[in-house]
Amino acid sequence: MRNELYKMVFSFVTVLITSGSFGYINYNILDKLNVIVDRPNDVENDKKYKVLLFTGINIGLYWILSSLKMKVSVSILFVLLFDVLGTICIIAPAIKLIDFLINKKRVSTGQSETLKVATRDYLFNSNKPQATYIYDFDNNLISCGWLDYQQTADNGYFDVTLTPFSEEGNNGYEDVSEYARDKSPNSKMLVDFEKNIKIIVIQID
């Protein structure tokens, strides 16, 4: 009876791991750390391949631990610890090292470095207050305010939450772009040709 129960639990855990459930933990952590990024024109398939890769790693680790006659509960705990700590301390640094070597090779051949972050996420990726101004291509102000929240690019939909400025100022395109150019070196502008808008983000140090 005990052996049957063990086999049933072992089979259940094996199915859980091979289904990709544990592999998604690796993927999610690396995605949040901006270590990996999916191709914008094929997000779902890109994500699927990465999850399958990490699932394979988890299966291999689990089988190794099982072959060492470890208890199922201990094996699961080790796999989960690896999924969290191993991803942060081993997989992420390894991927960053590979990216560094690739970029070093690209620079040596006269090419630019590659960044694993979507343009939109790169624009808003700061924990500092960000004054945000949105204009159309005719330089008409659409909206402005302090950036409160924005969905990451993998969401597939571009929307932002702005907190209105406490005081009205010169929000015209020329005034804001001149201020950003002359007085705020950390400012950035996003030009979205699909939605026909320009976004100026001024970071407040």
- Determine the Cα–Cα distance for residues 103 and 202; give it in Å rounded to an integer: 29
Q: Which residue matches tokens 């999850």?
A: 51
Closest by CA to 38, choosing from 113, 94, 121, is: 121
> What pTM was estimated for this model as a whole?
0.69
Distance CA 69, CA 72 (A): 9
Both tokens assigned to 79: 């796999």
**Residues linked to residue 178 through DSSP beta bridges, in sequence order:** none
Q: Give Cα 87 to chain centroid, integer Å.
A: 14
pLDDT by residue for the chain (205 residues), tens only, comes to 556 655 666 666 666 655 567 788 899 999 888 888 776 666 677 888 888 888 888 888 888 887 887 777 787 888 889 989 999 999 999 999 999 999 999 999 988 888 777 777 778 878 888 999 999 999 999 999 999 988 766 666 678 889 988 877 778 899 898 888 888 888 899 898 888 999 999 988 7
Tokens of 73: 């509960």
